[in-house]
Amino acid sequence: MTLNLSRLWRRARQQLPMLRRQAEAIPDGLWLHTLVRYPFLAALPLPVQQRLRSLSAQFLTDKEFHGAHGLHITDEIALAIAAQACLPLVYLPGQGRWRDDALGWYDDFVTIVVHPAEAVAQREVTDGAGVVHRYQETLLGEAMERGPVMLSWQHVAQAGDTTDRGHNLVIHEFAHKFDMRGKAPGQGADGCPVLPKGFLGLRTAAEARRHWRTVLGHEYAAFNEKVVMAQRFGEAPPWLDAYGAHSPAEFFAVACEAYWVSRERFGQAFPELLRLFDGFFVPSSPIKPS
């Protein structure tokens, strides 16, 4: 018998998450402090809070936090980020003996870099004529393809006060991680994550992707029109952050923010997206988001 070593190595890598050490429990006081600080987490049904706590504990075991510009990463900072990052996972299947498989969505990176406030990134692009353009971009956060996540603690800390506007920086950046997963190197996020088998009762993966892109594309086009009318003609701006008009990927991330922190208003504004996101984030849970 011929051994396929590359296949064995791939299988071993897939099993590595199950071999990681079991997470330590989050202290009661620290967990309760986090729930008080972020009321949208406290509003979850108790069984969902319990799973979120378990996911957050394993997330803290798996990931490495680094403070930039002298920021000291406290337990409070790390747990605040972990709990918000794990919120989109709470209804997804996959609870293994040692590690919840739902965390596999975040297996492409380890490091989270936390800045005290906004960060300035140096950018370089080459135009069609071959001319290189260099510029600076101010960032609140960034999710890098197969790489770390960067966040501004100032804006993470404010998440409990921005739910009425549907804003949540952590969920935004981790929505990009959902979107990037399964893409070919260099393809980047496009607003369509890998969809589960049987998504919304559709028979094939191709049908599921077409349906997702049709619904999201229609909502994205309508949103773009509202942003243009607000910016150029002074009409009322849309409820969602206008940053979502940059691309389908940014629209998906902005929509995910609102879906998780202001579900009722999101559903009123985007009923079709609500059904789409429920089919993805809450595929078969007996406990539905409140």
Domains identified in the chain and CATH numbers: 19-281 (3.40.390.10)
**Is 251 a residue whose pLDDT tops 60?**
yes
Measured CA to CA in angstroms, residue 64 lies from 19, 22, 59, 80, 156 at distances of 18, 16, 9, 14, 17
For residue range 151-197, list pLDDT tens digits in order: 999 999 999 999 999 999 999 999 999 999 988 888 889 999 999 88
**Is 13 a residue whose pLDDT tops 70?**
no
- Read off the pLDDT band of 133 (50, 70, 90): low
Q: Which residues contact 201 (CB under 8 A, 6 or more apart)?
A: none
Query: Which tops the pLDDT comparison, 185 or 150?
Result: 150
The H or E element containing residue 64 is strand 64-67
Percent helix, strand and coil across the chain, each rounded to 5? Answer: 55, 10, 35
**Is 114 a residue whose pLDDT tops 50?**
yes
- Read off the pLDDT band of 18 (50, 70, 90): very low
Percent of the chain scoring above 90 in pLDDT: 74
Mean pLDDT throughout 259-266?
A: 96
Which residue in this structure is represented by tokens 């739902």? Answer: 102
Mean pLDDT throughout 29-35?
A: 98
Mean pLDDT throughout 38-60?
A: 96
Task: With beta carbons less than 8 A apart as the criterion, state whether 148 and 112 touch.
Answer: yes
- pLDDT of amino acid 94: 72
For 231-267, give one letter per residue: b (16+ CB within 10 A) or e: eeeeeeebbbbbebbeebbbbbbbbbbbbbbbbeebb
For residue range 50-79, list pLDDT tens digits in order: 999 999 999 999 999 999 999 999 999 999
Mean pLDDT throughout 100-125?
A: 87
What is the average pLDDT score of the chain?
88
Lowest mean per-residue pLDDT among 8-17, 95-104, 143-152? 8-17
Instruction: Say which amino acid occupies 255.
Output: A
For residue range 189-244, list pLDDT tens digits in order: 999 999 988 999 999 999 999 999 999 999 999 999 999 999 999 999 999 999 99
- pLDDT of amino acid 185: 85
Q: How far apart are CA 107 and CA 17, in angstroms?
A: 8
- pLDDT of amino acid 3: 39
Q: How far apart are CA 280 and CA 194, in angstroms?
A: 9
**Is 102 a residue whose pLDDT tops 60?**
yes
Percent of the chain scoring above 70 in pLDDT: 86
**Is 264 a residue whose pLDDT tops 90?**
yes
- pLDDT of amino acid 129: 74
- pLDDT of amino acid 9: 38
Which residue in this structure is represented by tokens 């607003």? Answer: 191
pTM listed for this prediction: 0.87
Q: Which residues contact 265 (CB under 8 A, 6 or more apart)?
A: 164, 166, 239, 258
